[in-house]
Homo-oligomer: A and B are copies of this chain.
Amino acid sequence: MRENRLRTLFAQQQLALSGWVSMGNALLAEVIAHSGYDAVTVDLQHGPFSIDAALPMLQAISSTPAVPLVRCSENSLGEINKLLDAGAYGVICPLINTAADAERFVRACHYSPRGGRSYGPARGFLYGGADYFTHANATLLTLAMIETREGYANAEAILQTPDLDGIFIGPSDLAIELGLAPDAYDDVRLNEAIDHLLALARKLGKYVGIFAGTMEMAQRMKGIGMDLVVPGTDIQQIKAEGARRVSALR
């Protein structure tokens, strides 16, 4: 089975960067996959599209070395199975609040006996190879999002879920739950929470990824040793560069 380069980077303690696609367009996904990112995440939670658009996006990413990840819209075996069958090499699952949530998520991503993933990986074979079934459980990444007070409180139990690879921190939602603004990326309370989660994960030998709302935050996250950093979305990229161009010409 094709290796999961993110696992290799994680094992080597090298920072991995993921692009983020929240507009449902396959050419956009391919353009971003050519930007130098180690992975590209197709976001079905806040991206207004479904599997119909995600399939060609995953196919487009597959023509590059970038690892195809998805964020599913919810902790649903049905959706997660379709995305994995479509060739995703990792899943970021939103709103994991309890160890039971995490266990349910892990089970959705693993074949029996570890989990309840149903068999039929059409694009899994095409992208991963003929031995996909044998190695899928050990290859595909599972990252549980910590983004609520409840999830934060249960983080240690969540991180102890067997076969869960790690967590992915949603800083805007976590900030809101801490009573802060969604873009309070510099707030000390938010950053202490991030530090705490990273320390917990390190203690338990799990990986940590995070969405960075600004480039400053991205640099800081790199600095504290995050495994995976997402430096903004496709929409933020378009907006930032568009605003720069328009204002330069006014």
Contacts and interface: CB of A to CB of B under 8 A. Distances in A.
Interface string A31-63: 110111100000001111111111110011011
Interface stretch (A161-169, A199-207, A232-240): A232-240
Q: How large is the interface on A (under 10, 10 to 19, 20 to 34, 35 or more residues)?
A: 35 or more
Given A62-B63, A218-B245, A245-B231, A122 B35 contact: no
Interface stretch (A4-12, A15-23, A188-196): A15-23
Q: State the copy count for this chain.
A: 6
Contacts of A234: 238
Contact of A53 (B30, B52, B148, B182): B52
A101 interface: no
Contacts of A127: 63
A104 interface: no
Contacts of A32: 238, 242
A246 interface: yes
Contact of A31 (B17, B37, B126): B126
20 contacts: A22-B120, A23-B28, A24-B52, A25-B25, A34-B239, A35-B238, A35-B242, A35-B245, A36-B242, A46-B82, A46-B122, A47-B82, A48-B51, A48-B54, A50-B50, A76-B78, A116-B148, A231-B246, A237-B242, A240-B241
